[in-house]
Chains A and B, each alone.
Chain A
Amino acid sequence: MEAVSGWVLDVYAHPQSGVILWLLCDDGRRRSFRQEFSVAFRVRGPSPRLRELWKFLQPKGVQLASVKGKDLYDGEIGDVLEARFDAPDSLMPAFWDAQQAFPDLTYYDVDVSVAMRYWAAFNVFPFARCRLTVNAGRILTVEPLDCKWDIDPDPPPLRKLYLRPDSDPSNTKPKFLQIKFDTFDYKVPFEKPRDLLHQLNAVLNKINPDVIITQYGDTWLFDHLFKLSEQTGIPFRPNRDAFREVERRKEYIYKSYGKSHFRAKQVHLLGLFHIDEKNSGNYAKNGLMGVMELARISGLPVQEAARRSAGAGISAMQVLTVLQWNILVPYQKQKGETFKTWRQLIKLDRGGIIDAPRPGVYRHVFIIDFMMMYPSLMVLFNLSPETVGSNDPDAWPIGDTGLKVNRKQRGLVPETLEPMVEKRIAIKRRLKSLPKDHPERERYQAQADTGKDLGVVSNGRMGFANAIFGRLPAYEAIAYLGRDTVLIAKEIAERHGFTVVHMYVDSLFLTREGAYTEADIKPVMDEIEEKTKLRIDLDDIYDWMAFDGSRKNPKMPVANRFFGPNREGEFKVRGIALRRQDTCAFVAGLQRDAMELMGLEKDPARLAERVPDVIKLVRERCTELQSGNIPLEQLVITRKLSKELNEYKASSAMFRVAKQLQPAGRVIGTGRIVAYLLTRCAGGSYPWDFADDLTAGMIDVRKYKELVIRATHELLQPLGVSEEVIRGWLGGATYVLPEEWAYMGNMELPLFTSIKAPVLPGIDVTGLWPGSNIVTVDGVITLPDLTAPPGGIAEGDT
């Protein structure tokens, strides 16, 4: 008998019985152990039917028992039938048989993974530190040594191996495979498959990696390597568990927040992890640290945590809590929407508060936001699917919603979320205390971002139709309290003399004449915290914040399109081209550079003086574009198909590209990404996949210029510049301030109200640049210098 300690890497079912656990031991060895571990599903229903099911399952060698069951909503539900299996893999086939024969019964604890059951049983999690007592390779006891809510967990010394083909296989056939580990970095040609496999096997044996990070590993690389292995007879076994094949998951389409997403097929390894950079959304967003954090917190296996959304993480966390409470996990959602009147529906069926900010530029904008507002509300008010909608006479009424919440009994969701909320707040505080170049910042940031993602979806999950523990009244109660909380904060800010420029779900944009330091906003934040009992954070103070209006009508507000620099010159940007996924790198880069030129000006009243620099930059980039000096990769536009191709009615550039890709054998459908260039041939758009045939001369410069004009307009529109004026400027017109700028006089910062003196008879030179030329019917006139430079307004003038 021996004691072994280390980090838990993986747990999965043994084909015969129990589970296999992989441990990264303190001595550096990676060891696997077996452990007896049975799993069970439970069934609820009328006793005669349960007896029939008993008889049905008995010949299949299942261990059957009658046990007491507890349901989340109904509490104690009396006797349920328990079907227990020593081999976890036997559970699902038996369940399918049972459900087919007895569809009228209610099934519980069915589709809970063996890993989740294991975490719940032994209070461990992926990358948990633990001590095992082992005898002859069999685990006897498991002792957890750390907690998933530690903000400074002892990090496992993971060995990482990178495998990357030199091109996108769906576009060009790769020639080399890059193999990278620590300081080793070399390329092996695919055309020498024997060498490739021998070298790969040597690397796998020598390095024995814990994580293999690939590009196109899910969709191409592993399949290709297995094919080469078959052709050459050289074995290729990337699993640590040499007796098992790799696990394959099928591709699928899912919807999230009204958008369709495609998830490609997957290759999962046993005993180590495979992460495909091109098919792992969470890894792409938060890196390996973020994946590890999501796995630790939620219990999702690492390879799933890399690929799945935060919503799956929240569901997994709820399942863990329920398992630890010894409550049955329903196989499918059981509680639907309760009946409500039309009046109730109108009142309750709403999300967060989203204001319509007035377009323009605002000076010294404070953004304050509630930290984890929705999760905090759930914790504070005990909002959970089983607590909201209570008929208990002592239950607490939620405003005028007609809903009541039971606050006597702790809810599932608050119980699940509270430590997560506390952890994120602690990490955020730690981050604020660290210098910007601190080596630990990256890890804390990944942890904080993961917590934020979980917090963001925790509310939506409650209203999600397929969430097992979701229930609409709970969602409605949370949304109501969220709106109420933000309105309380708004009222407090206004009492302190602040103008509320914008409200967005859990954040407020505030400005006040003469206020520009943290000390100015602190009393507001203190009062909000005291009144709401929620933590509020100062996101930052911005020298100015520009809000766009609608493209067609600049006076029409747009909720989420703004940009502005903080005191360090770092921008907060939402909704403009450089944030949108369908913007090509050329346009995004140009917009970013132009925006940073504007950011050099701290005083919004002088922003107009930066316009010539912006236009100069845009002209230079357009000249580069015209002369074919922009690499084609910079011009690639990527868009996602939101539906099947035959459902499209309009023939857009994306549609035409998709149609071109189909005959070439590309699978095109909902959620798939289409990459293309705007060209003067092939119907105006050309698939990036076929770009080898393209030359710079085929690019439709006019269309890209149009995108440039729109992106520039997004930056200058808050100053009152129209697209037509930008077109004129780019077409060579002189720097004449547009007539529309006068409209700024009605705005918070009337930038040009002081430059309205007509100096030439019959010509309104409102805002004209000194020394510039204007064309009149009498010929070209050079304007004299004005006393006040354009935009250069003294503080008192505003």
Chain B
Amino acid sequence: MGRTILTAAELLKELKKDLKPFHRTIHLPDQLELDSIYEELEYYRAAISCTGTVYPLEVMLVAMVLIERKHANEIEKRLNDRIDQLIESRVKDGSSQRLGS
């Protein structure tokens, strides 16, 4: 019991092993991006395990989409915050110019 099937951590190792030729072939900047995705995937081990699917790669891909979505949202939020700051500073400056105009 508990040693019959691969754990989520082992599944992630298997994924990295399977994608090793892919990893080797892509260029260094892409490799670094992929490595950071792998690192983030580790935080989804419990969710991958709990899903208990025979196709774990599908779940991992969903997790990767989630990672990217979170990243995009974070950038969007920072961008919006920056825009708000800029608007506020221009309002303080008494400028009536619209941003970007």
Q: Mark A residues whose CB is within 8 Å of B.
A: 258, 342-343, 345-351, 353-356, 358, 463-465, 472, 475, 483, 487, 503, 553, 555-557
Contact = CB atoms under 8 A, between A and B. Distances in A.
B6 to A, nearest CB: 9
Given A346-B53, A350-B49, A475 B43 contact: no
B4 interface: yes
A207 B76 CA distance: 81
Contacts of B4: 345, 349
A483 B68 CA distance: 27
17 contacts: A343-B54, A345-B4, A346-B5, A346-B53, A346-B54, A347-B52, A349-B2, A349-B4, A350-B50, A355-B45, A355-B46, A356-B45, A464-B1, A472-B1, A556-B42, A557-B43, A557-B45
Contacts of A351: 2
B77 to A, nearest CB: 14
Contacts of B39: 553, 555-556
A503 B39 CA distance: 19
Contacts of B49: 350, 353-354
Interface in B58-82: none
A713 to B, nearest CB: 19
B46 A354 contact: yes
A349 B5 contact: yes
Interface string B33-54: 0000001001111100110111
B20 interface: no
Give the top 3 A-B pairs by smallest Cβ distance, nearest first. Answer: A463-B1, A347-B52, A355-B46
Contacts of A358: 43
B46 A258 contact: no
Interface in B7-56: 39, 42-46, 49-50, 52-54
A553 B40 CA distance: 12
Nearest to A401: B52
A356 B46 contact: yes
Given A345-B4, A472-B1, A350 B42 contact: no
B1 A475 contact: yes
Which residue among A346, A351, A472, A503 has the maximum number of chain B CB atoms within 10 Å of its CB?
A: A346
A503 B43 CA distance: 12
Interface residues of B, number: 16
B52 A346 contact: yes
Contacts of A465: 1
Given A356-B44, A463-B1, A463-B2, 12 more contacts: A346-B5, A346-B54, A347-B52, A349-B5, A350-B50, A351-B2, A353-B46, A355-B45, A356-B42, A555-B39, A556-B42, A557-B43
B22 to A, nearest CB: 20
Contact of A345 (B3, B5, B45, B53): B5
Nearest to A358: B43
Nearest to B2: A351
A545 to B, nearest CB: 17
A475 B43 CA distance: 27
Which residue among A258, A350, A472, A556 has the maximum number of chain B CB atoms within 10 Å of its CB?
A: A350
Contacts of B44: 356
Contacts of B42: 356, 556-557
Contact of A350 (B45, B52, B54): B52
A345 B5 CA distance: 8
B9 to A, nearest CB: 9
Contacts of A348: 52
Nearest to A257: B2
A487 B51 CA distance: 12
Contacts of B52: 346-348, 350
A349 B1 contact: yes
Contacts of A463: 1-2
B20 to A, nearest CB: 17
A553 B43 CA distance: 14
Contacts of A487: 50
Contacts of B50: 350, 353, 483, 487
Nearest to A400: B52
Contacts of B45: 354-356, 557
Contacts of B46: 353-356, 503
A464 B2 CA distance: 11
B68 to A, nearest CB: 16
A260 to B, nearest CB: 15
B3 A258 contact: yes
A557 B50 CA distance: 18
Nearest to B55: A346
B70 to A, nearest CB: 12
A258 B54 CA distance: 25
A578 to B, nearest CB: 25
Contacts of A556: 39, 42
A67 to B, nearest CB: 36
A660 to B, nearest CB: 34
Which residue among A343, A465, A555 has the maximum number of chain B CB atoms within 10 Å of its CB?
A: A555
A555 B36 CA distance: 9
Contacts of A346: 5, 52-54
A463 to B, nearest CB: 4
B56 to A, nearest CB: 9
A796 to B, nearest CB: 16
Nearest to B49: A350
A328 to B, nearest CB: 26
Contacts of A483: 50
A556 B1 CA distance: 27
B86 to A, nearest CB: 21
Contacts of A503: 46
A564 B14 CA distance: 34
Contacts of B3: 258
A290 to B, nearest CB: 28
A355 B50 CA distance: 10
Nearest to B4: A349
